[in-house]
Amino acid sequence: MAESSSNNGGTDQVLVEKTGSVRIFILNRPKLLNALSAQMISRLLELFHASEGDSNVKMIVLKGNGRAFCAGGDAAAVFHNIRQGNWKWGADFIREQYTLDYVVATYSKPQVSILNGIVMGGGLGLSVHGRFRVATEKTVCAMPETALGLFPDVGASYFYPRLPGFFGEYAGLTGARLDGAEMLACGLATHFVPSERLPFLGQALAKVNTSDPDVISAIINRFSDVPKLKAGSPYHKMKIIDRCFSRRTIEEIISSLETEALNNKDDWICSTIQSLKKASPTSLKISLRSIREGRLQGIGSCLIREYRVSCHVFRGEFSKDFFEGCRAIVIDKDRNPKWEPSRLELIRDDDVDRYFSKMDDEDWEDLKLPERSNLPPYAIAKL
């Protein structure tokens, strides 16, 4: 049965279906590609907590209504509030969002996310931290944050460095779009199910009466395929990615890609260089450092660090690239941002350091994550 489950004046941004021991949460802002509003985030937190405390619930299924799973956090809402002088609204928004991502990452019951369509930014935070992620031939996945004057957050500094080789640095810095087959190959997805089989998968999952991840995985496997990677897939370029994206600085990454381009007439290398040169220089420097630090940290430490960086980005003391990126990509859509500083060499190491420090604001405090208990082994491993 579908329940009306919203705390947003009757417009149901999260729908709930209860079938036996399974709770299905449906993101329901299809015209906005299920972009996460503050109301959706607080409602999801409420639902996840209630289901975790209910011994009758064995499993969560998360999916999106329409052609997207979730296109990320509502950047336009954050932009408008901060532009009116209220950067703390943005801080409150991501505090709730990162708390939700942490709950998902440390959830005591399996979560199956059905990624049938667009999954970007905050949509990855909601799904990749969960136990099972089902991609399809319709899946389009990206974290385009560096083109927006942001950086890959929502715990991406935890999951990107854990992808094979330096593929996470590649995906995070360039904002590369990956399809379902690529998500499966690199580990962002755990299964690939052709979209025509999703109704049958849904029927099978609705009958689940266990939290045993092996049983649930076996059910999803019955409907799964191993898709072929397309000929031009970046996943076929792992040798070049590892050679170039393992470099210590953004400048060295770009210069090693330019060397590869001299020896190798490959459109993919040229478009990768272009993506990096179009991105915010400040964002690139912050993003590389964040992903590198995340290699050695648990999910909680990654989210706490990302919260600090996001607060500095929203406050805009060193660079206002987030406002310019939002203006150019989301608001005016001229796709021609004017970054400031405009070049990598104008950004010093201590400028980058500032983003990783505590805010000098007496009302500000570090992200405080909730205590978690009864964690399954795969969640404990993330801490």
Catalogue the active-site residues: 73, 122, 145, 153
Are 19 and 206 in contact by the 8 Å Cβ rule? The answer is yes
Q: Which pair of tokens denotes residue 236?
A: 């076929």
Q: Are 131 and 80 in contact (CB under 8 A)?
A: no
Q: Roughly how many angstroms between the first and final C-alpha of the chain, as a whole number?
A: 36
CA neighbor of 309 nearest in space, from 357, 372, 381: 357
Tokens of 238: 């792992």
- Contact (CB, 8 A) for 20 and 209: yes
**d(C-alpha 149, C-alpha 164), whole Å:** 26
Q: Are strands 111-115 and 59-64 parallel, antiparallel or unpaired?
A: parallel
**Phi, then psi, of 48 in degrees rounded to 5:** -65, -45
Q: Residues 315-354, buried b or exposed e (16+ Cβ, 10 A)?
A: bbebbbbbbbbbbbbeeeeeeebebebeebeebeeeebee
